[in-house]
Amino acid sequence: MTSIDIPSSVTSIGSRAFERNPLTTVNISSSVSSIGSTAFFSCSKLNDIYVEWKKPPSIPSESFRDVTTSKVNLHVPQGTKQAYKSAQVWKNFNIIEKKSAQNESTTTKVNPANNNTTPPPVPTSYTIKTSPSTGGKTSGNGTYTSGTSCTVRATADKDYTFVNWTENSRVVSTSPNYTFTVSTNRTLVANFTPPDYTALMNSALSEAENAFNNGNHAAAYNAYIKAAEYADANRTNGWTYTGGSGIMKTSYEIKQNAAEKFKTKADKIINRNGGCDHISKELLQYANKLNSTWEIQNLLNKCN
């Protein structure tokens, strides 16, 4: 997670809330009235903080501990820069005052020749920022001319699933390719759901069983390997192992059981034919790759 929007439903950011987080951009709603000590401790990648307070709140001096605040842009409401420059902690940031939709320097003017008013110019370009939550990538960042079409794209990582695009925690699209007409600056976040490794493992095991029963030993071997990888991923991501006939198996258990299936089938062929053939040898080779035991190696040596 590199960008976060603190929504209006939040009133307080607790101590160590984002400690050592790789955040680069933070949007803080005016509803937030307090920020805890070390809330952003060691968030060394921070580039931009956007705030909406007309009056800067008093915060602990340790709220941004180990952050080089002088290199972080603090975007404040128009007309409040001096207040932030006088406020403890906030004054250490690179304070940037947001411009209003109509810049003060372009207020309506009267043409003395015909007494007609000249409307102020409208901004001609806006910045679109995108960032992914864990599980994918995004594209479409850039500066766009007002009134033109922009398409941002979200691509899920392997086994992850795209959910939606949000802006300030509000869902704006459920399509991975979101197209809209540019009319303001926008910060969009693509959200993804993590893989269900248990379901993926069981699907791979079913695929392996079908291939094995149909005599497609290469496909069966590959599917068993895939199931074992999902089992490893499941444990790496903190899922509980129940083993045996439970919900999840270990990769070792999967490979051990698969190797036994290949060896047993090879034994039957050898006993029926009175010796090895290319099929029994192939079966033993796959069994040896899955779980090399003395018994499997001994049978394989006899087939060579």
Same structural domain, 153 and 212: no
Q: Is residue 292 in a domain?
A: yes
* pLDDT tens, position by position, 157-191: 988 899 999 999 899 999 999 999 988 999 999 99
116 lies in a domain?
no
Domain end position, chosen among 174, 194, 214: 194
Q: Partners of 183 in the beta sheet?
A: none
Last residue of a domain, one of 194, 209, 232: 194
Whether residue 35 contacts residue 13, with contact meaning beta carbons closer than 8 Å, is answered with yes
Do residues 5 and 90 both lie within one domain?
A: yes
Residue 74 lies in a domain: yes
> Domain for residue 107, yes or no?
no
User: What CATH number is given to the structural domain containing 26?
Assistant: 3.80.10.10
Residue 229 backbone dihedrals phi, psi, to 5 degrees? -65, -40
Q: Where are the beta strands (DSSP E) in 194-241?
A: none
Residue 115 lies in a domain: no
User: Do 89 and 22 belong to one domain?
Assistant: yes
CB 168 within 8 A of CB 220: no
Rounded Cα gap, residues 154 and 165, in angstroms = 9
- As for how many domains the chain has, the answer is 3
Backbone φ/ψ region at 275: left (φ over 0), alpha (ψ -120 to 50), beta:
left
Residues 80 and 127 grouped into a single domain: no
The residue range of the domain holding 148 is 123-194
Same domain for 176 and 206, yes or no, is no
Question: d(Cα 263, Cα 295) in Å, to the nearest integer?
Answer: 9
User: Whole-prediction pTM value?
Assistant: 0.45
Q: Tokens 């695929």 sit at which residue?
A: 207
Please indicate, yes or no, whether residues 45 and 34 belong to a single structural domain of this protein: yes
- Portion of the chain with pLDDT greater than 70, in percent: 87
For residue 247, CA distances in Å to 78, 230, 251, 252, 270 come to: 57, 13, 13, 15, 35
Q: Is the pLDDT of residue 102 over 70?
A: no
For residue 211, tell me if it sits in a domain: yes
Last residue of a domain, one of 65, 100, 135: 100
Could you tell me how far CA 88 lies from the centroid of its own chain? Answer: 35
Question: Any idea what the Cα angle at residue 48 is, between residues 70 and 26, rounded to 5°?
Answer: 125
- Asked if residue 83 and residue 129 are part of one domain, the reply reads no
pLDDT tens profile 236-252: 554 444 444 344 568 88
**What pLDDT band is residue 60 in, cutting at 50, 70 and 90?**
very high
Other CB atoms within a 10 A radius of the CB of residue 106 amount to 13
Distance CA 12, CA 4 (A): 15
Q: Are strands 186-193 and 125-132 parallel, antiparallel or unpaired?
A: parallel
**Are residues 74 and 148 both part of a single domain?**
no
Asked which of 104-113, 119-128, 202-211 is least confident by mean pLDDT, the reply is 104-113
